[in-house]
Amino acid sequence: MTKESPSLIPGARRAARMAAAAGLVAALAAAGTAPVFAADDPGTAPVKPAAADGKGDKLGSADADVLAKAQAKGEKNITLMVATAPGATEEVSRQLDAVKGSVLGQTYDKLGYVRATVPTATAEATLKAAQKLTSVYGIDLKQEIKLDDPTPAGDRAAGASTQATGSYPAPGKRTPAKNPYNPSFETGAVDFVEQNPKADGRGITIGVLDSGVDLGHPALQKTTTGERKIVDWVTATDPVSDSDGTWLRMTASVAGPAFTIGGRAYSAPEGAYKIQLFPEAATRGGDMAGDLNRDGDTTDVWAVLYDAVTGSARVDLNNDADFTNDAAMKPYKDGHQVGYFGTDNPATEIVERIPFVVETRKNVVYNTAGAKADFVNIGVIEGSHGTHVAGITAANGLFGGEMNGAAPGAKVVSSRACTWTGGCTNIALTEGMIDLVVNRGVDIVNMSIGGLPPLNDGNNARAELYKRLIDTYGVQLVISAGNDGPGVNTIGDPGLADHVISVGASISKETWAANYGSNVTKKYAMLPFSSRGPREDGGFAPILTAPGAAVNTTQTWQAGGPVKEAGYSLPAGYSMMQGTSMSSPQAAGAAALLLSAAEQKNIELPRPICAPRSPAPPPTSRECPRTPRAPV
């Protein structure tokens, strides 16, 4: 199934202004008020081996281990993604589809992407056959990438005091735009907006591929011009292969105005429908711990009624078995409808309800017999990670005051790629990234998820596909470097991919004091956990660093999360988090400001200037160079 929608892809002008994102971010970092850290000349890095010609390793050792473990556990099926030559997916799709018991998933021919699920018993032979095809660049097997815990656990600079400094009060409504709590000013973002007030991110849309963004947070409601902040909200997980219980297979047919199912009588408007039950326990691995309506248990179940003709769904939120008093909800982008599990008590600081949206996917193959069904998704966040990331990059009016994210005028598209097991699959992170770039009209994407692979040379299917997204659509990807430092060669995947902007985490003396309550002597330094380069093949990564600790937005239905030693409390919906997960959105927001300036001033940006990795032969006019010199 191909999901490319060319009509939704912005025109050449958007591609042109995005083409120079990497160079622009580097320029901003170099011109910022705080030091940045960089490696030596990337032009000295050796050439990376490539498999684009159909030769070389196409299945990494880590993937071979995944297959061996699946075989040892007796797993019935295994899912794989293939990077083919662009425009050459047909041959691979045909071969995989011919495997007995296989299920062919999404394909994107323009990028050269194929996903399939095959029987584990015959997977080895299937993979060997696929690797022989000259059109195949690389094959990745499905793996889950665990989200790092961004809450501090005693991480401190060497020799730092463990006592609260008492020198910084809690951030709040009176906190100025320049502050050490969310130190966007260190990249130059605050000064840039002050000097260019109309280039505050307006006109730019940032994709956030993460655990989902809370739709109820006050600082994520409006842009600086009063427009809607979150303009789209989707789920990137697969309804079948990712075992995500928020996807409901709609196969049971009923008809209004009255029907009985499971021994219970229901009322509904006239018409033909599909019905399914949604248990809140499906979310027990998330921050809500399976209690969606915040009533203290995990046993609630809601009926969901789906109208295939209109593509809408009704959720029986009050459990009265009457769908006539429930809104017919369509996907969020088609009217921005939001429902809520639970009822808020306005007398408390915490919001006792969780917002949700619906999404539908039609004609999804769900078994090896080729049976198809429509699926409905109940779109809720998995955890606080994505909301914090979104706030850093684009929040407007933190604490109701002057404190903002890096690009407060920008809009956001949220894509949840994480499930309920503490992580996200590489498949969801690939298809979610493709969907954001190809179908959702974003100008830049932040992804603060990754991990350290056994061989971090960037030679895998996902890294190749990310590079192609940048080269083909002119949308820059900004990705966290990873938290496996301080050793060398700890750069994570996919931050190591060619042409992406990978971001390490740094911190100032003031932020140590304000966010951790720690006294340090060094004015500015790398955070100790931040991953370092180079890549295994000597490639240059990470590209730059940005502030890696911030007080920012989290879901409003949980209490605030300060660092105890900082000596202050935070209200519900705000927490201090750390990691390259926090530095990456600082860079993405900074890039959004520069793109916004180009938009406001009608500046035509030059041909693609891509983040460097390793040298290669001179590119054609349509390709990104491997070793550019970013203009400053």
Instruction: Give the residue numbers marked as catalytic.
Output: 210, 385, 581
Q: Where are the alpha helices (DSSP H) in 176-329?
A: 189-195
Are residues 250 and 374 in contact, defined by beta-carbon separation less than 8 angstroms?
Answer: yes
CB atoms within 10 A of CB 231: 18
The sign one gets for the Cα dihedral 348, 349, 350, 352 is: positive
Secondary structure of 14-49 in HEC code, one letter for each residue: HHHHHHCHHHHHHHHHHHCCCCCCCCCCHHHCCCCC
Q: How many secondary structure helices (H) and strands (E) does the chain include?
A: 11, 24
Are residues 96 and 118 in contact, defined by beta-carbon separation less than 8 angstroms?
Answer: yes
Are residues 382 and 370 in contact, defined by beta-carbon separation less than 8 angstroms?
Answer: no
Report helix, strand or coil for 345.
Answer: coil
Measuring CA to CA, which residue among 292, 376, 383 is closest to residue 340? 292
Rounded distance, CA 302 to CA 543, Å? 47
How many angstroms separate the Cα of 499 from the Cα of each of 250, 456, 467, 576? 41, 15, 6, 30
Environment class of 8 (CB within 10 Å of its CB; exposed 0-12, middle 13-18, buried 19+): exposed
Are residues 473 and 148 in contact, defined by beta-carbon separation less than 8 angstroms?
Answer: no
**Bridging pattern class, strands 230-235 and 339-341:** unpaired
Q: Which residue has the tokens 């017919």?
A: 328
Residues in the chain: 632
Measuring CA to CA, which residue among 54, 19, 49, 78 is closest to residue 625? 19
User: Any idea what DSSP says for residue 581?
Assistant: H
CB atoms within 10 A of CB 55: 10
